Structure 1
Amino acid sequence: MHTDTISGRPARADDYDAVAAVVDDWWGRPILGALPRLFLDHFHRTSLVAGTGDGMSGFLVGIVSPSEPGEAYIHFVGVHPEARKTGLARALYERFFEIARAHDRRVVKAITSPANRTSIAFHQRMGFTVTGPVRDYNGPGHDLVTFERGI
């Protein structure tokens, strides 16, 4: 797996089909339901795709909040299993921070399941404050861990 375009390129709405085709395999479980097409239809300009002619090696779906003027949110990030530990996820995050700053955002937030220890450790290494699990964050019985980082 090559990661030549490690920082990613702006996503396009039509990247959704490629993302949808791999996301469950990359996670090793059904996860596509958390990433409906609307995210790339409406937020592709603040999202990223990384890869080469060999295929996609990673993606980040990010949003500059229309409701919280100083905030941005990373909704979903995926890295091909063969591209993990190459710095690709870090590069995608750093590129998204640039996008967020260009939109006058100074805080980036994200969430994950309390069971996702890999994501929690990654966000800690990236300098995010980790809170939780926050009870019933996503409705009754849906506790989540929250992340926040100033940029």
Structure 2
Amino acid sequence: MTEDLPGGLVLRQPHVDDHLRVLAVMDGWWANFGGDAGSLQRSLLLPRLFFQHFTDSSCLVESADGRLVAFLVGFVSQSDPEVAYIHFVGVDPALRRRGLAGGLYRRFFRLAAARGCSRVRCVTSPGNANSLAFHTGLGFRIDPGEVMVDGVDIQRDYDGPGLHRIAFTRTLTDQM
């Protein structure tokens, strides 16, 4: 589906060979958010298994010359088939604010709805103000957390000790 992509970009499903390509761009795309610890967290949160077992619901976007410019890794929950989960998304900073990430999310919303999901969930790191604004702008609501930081509900130890997250849920509707 390319209707949500800026011109000249190609969308495809990822394959296992894309794993290292994605890891190679993450520090630059996240502007080293969180320093060395943040870099390690990002790489550990996106292991090879996502490029082996979740490719039918994930996607990559490449420029005409084959350069990676965006990706979305997501899946339908096996434990709760009414819930889909967006695990990781990245967009080349040179292409941000052009609707690319929003297009990938809308594509995933349609895929999830077609598979019977009624909700999409995802998380972001506390302190990532751009991600917080992006998700709430797409209609995600912040799930209640155990603590409040700067007026935002935080899920403590969500991804392990000291790895707190902001959790989001978006209800899927006909207006995707």
**Do both share a fold (TM > 0.5)?**
yes
Native 8 Å contact 1:12 1:45 kept in 2: no
Q: Provide the C-alpha distance between the structure 2 equivalents of 1:126 and 1:7, rounded to a whole number of angstroms.
A: 23
Structure 2, unaligned stretches of length 5 or more? 33-38, 144-152
Q: For 1:112-123, what aligned pairs fall within 5 Å after superposition?
A: 112-123=124-135
The structure-2 alpha-carbon separation of the partners of 1:16 and 1:115, relative to structure 1 and needing over 3 Å to count, comes to: same
Native 8 Å contact 2:9 2:63 kept in 1: no
Amino acid at match of 2:29: W
1:93 positional shift? 0.2
Q: Provide the C-alpha distance between the structure 2 equivalents of 1:40 and 1:100, rounded to a whole number of angstroms.
A: 18
Structure (1 or 2) with the greater strand fraction: 1
Q: Which residue of 1 is the match for residue 149 of structure 2?
A: none
Q: Which residue of 1 is the match for residue 167 of structure 2?
A: 146
Greater RCO (CA < 8 Å, at least 6 residues apart): 1
Native 8 Å contact 2:10 2:63 kept in 1: no
Query: For 1:23, what is the secondary structure of its paired residue?
Result: helix
Query: For 2:121, what is the secondary structure of its paired residue?
Result: strand
Q: Which residue of 1 is the match for residue 13 of structure 2?
A: 10
1:7 positional shift? 7.8
How high is the sequence identity, in percent, across the aligned residues? Answer: 43
Q: Provide the C-alpha distance between the structure 2 equivalents of 1:8 and 1:140, rounded to a whole number of angstroms.
A: 36
Once the two structures are superposed, what CA deviation does each residue of 1:8-46 show, in whole Å capped at 9, x if it has no partner?
322223221221221121112212222111111110111
Worse-matched range after superposition: 9-18 or 90-99: 9-18
Q: Which residue of 2 is the match for residue 27 of structure 1?
A: 30
Amino acid at match of 1:73: Y
Q: Which residue of 2 is the match for residue 66 of structure 1?
A: 78
Worse-matched range after superposition: 21-30 or 75-84: 21-30
Amino acid at match of 2:84: A
Q: Provide the C-alpha distance between the structure 1 equivalents of 2:7 and 2:16, rounded to a whole number of angstroms.
A: 22
Q: Provide the C-alpha distance between the structure 2 equivalents of 1:110 and 1:7, rounded to a whole number of angstroms.
A: 25
Q: Provide the C-alpha distance between the structure 1 equivalents of 2:7 and 2:68, rounded to a whole number of angstroms.
A: 11
Return the index of the structure with the highest Cα Rg: 2
Instruction: Compute the RMSD of aligned alpha carbons.
Output: 1.8
Native 8 Å contact 1:3 1:83 kept in 2: no
Question: What is the TM-score when the length of structure 2 is the normalising length?
Answer: 0.78
Amino acid at match of 2:157: D
Structure 1, unaligned stretches of length 5 or more? none
Once the two structures are superposed, what CA deviation does each residue of 1:31-71 show, in whole Å capped at 9, x if it has no partner?
22221111111101110111223311100000111111100
1:134 positional shift? 1.7
Query: For 2:161, what is the secondary structure of its paired residue?
Result: coil
Aligned partner of 2:107 among 79, 84, 95: 95
Q: Which residue of 2 is the match for residue 51 of structure 1?
A: 62
1:5 positional shift? 5.7
Once the two structures are superposed, what CA deviation does each residue of 1:62-111 show, in whole Å capped at 9, x if it has no partner?
01111111000000000001010010000000011111112111100001
Amino acid at match of 1:115: G
